[in-house]
Amino acid sequence: MAQTQQAFPAQKQQYPGSENQMRPKPRAEMEDYAGSGKLAGKIALVTGGDSGIGRAVAIGFAKEGADVAIAYLEEDDDARQTSQYIEKAGRQSLTVAGNLADEAQCRRVVDRVVQRFGRLDILVNNIAYQHPVESFEEITTEQWDRTFKTNIYSFFWMTRAALPHMREGAAIINTASINGLRGNPSLIDYSATKGAVLAFTYSLAQSLAERKIRVNAVAPGPVWTPLIPSTMPEEKVKKFGQDQPMGRAAQPDEIAPSYIFFASGTFSSYYNGEVLAPIGGETLPG
């Protein structure tokens, strides 16, 4: 479906936000996507799978034939709706709530998935937290810790817990960001974690190559998800994405196909340690 430039109405939510309260509601249900069995019989786990990019990825995986577990913080209504879309696609779903900035919760999530499905073929590390600031000095140690534990520690903990259950041909996909590629003066801690996600992806891909487990990353530009109205000032929400060359933010269902590409051995069997960057026409040096 063609997209046009769009200004969002000023709005504010409490973190982590809810898709149902967003105006307009994001396009994350993959309504125009027709699967072709590229992930038939696979078991996938998507963190942050209740809404936004994670929801679109979970539904896209289901449409390609995978059973999908989603881990999320506390947004039960959003998670329930995502689960219904997965089951509507004819696949099994599992939802697990809890804070993945806690190592024990990461282990519990993987244990639940393995208890339910017996193994794990695809891991998508996708959760994120951000808190914009006007100056570097505003960043507290508490904020720095929270951002890193959510955005990169959870990726490490989830991956370490999942690997014993992943076989040859499995795939790990990490969500990075345009901010990890070129920085952002109001999101210094967030950008630092996303740069770490990229280095983690490159290094882990090399480490797991002999086990034939592929590790790749998607680094989106601005995307209309609950993270935006729940972390950004209302005036910035109104202009969100308009500074991109394409003049608008992406919708989650425009980003999810990148994850399907990396999850499918048919599409990406020779891709390892790579980054897809759907960033709306912005070009980067190097």
| Residue 271 annotated among the catalytic residues of the structure | no
Out of 72, 153, 190, 259, the active site residue is 190
Q: Which of 158, 145, 48, 49 lies closest to 103 in space, CA to CA?
A: 158
- Measure CA 55 to chain center: 9
Structure tokens at 135: 């100056």
Q: Which of 117, 115, 121 is nearest to 173 (CA)?
A: 121
Three-state secondary-structure class, residue 172? strand
Residues facing 18 on adjacent strands:
none
Closest listed residue to residue 275, CA positions, set 222, 218, 220, 215: 218
CB under 8 Å to 142, separation ≥6 — which residues?
Answer: none
Measure CA 160 to chain center: 18
Give the catalytic positions in this structure.
Answer: 190
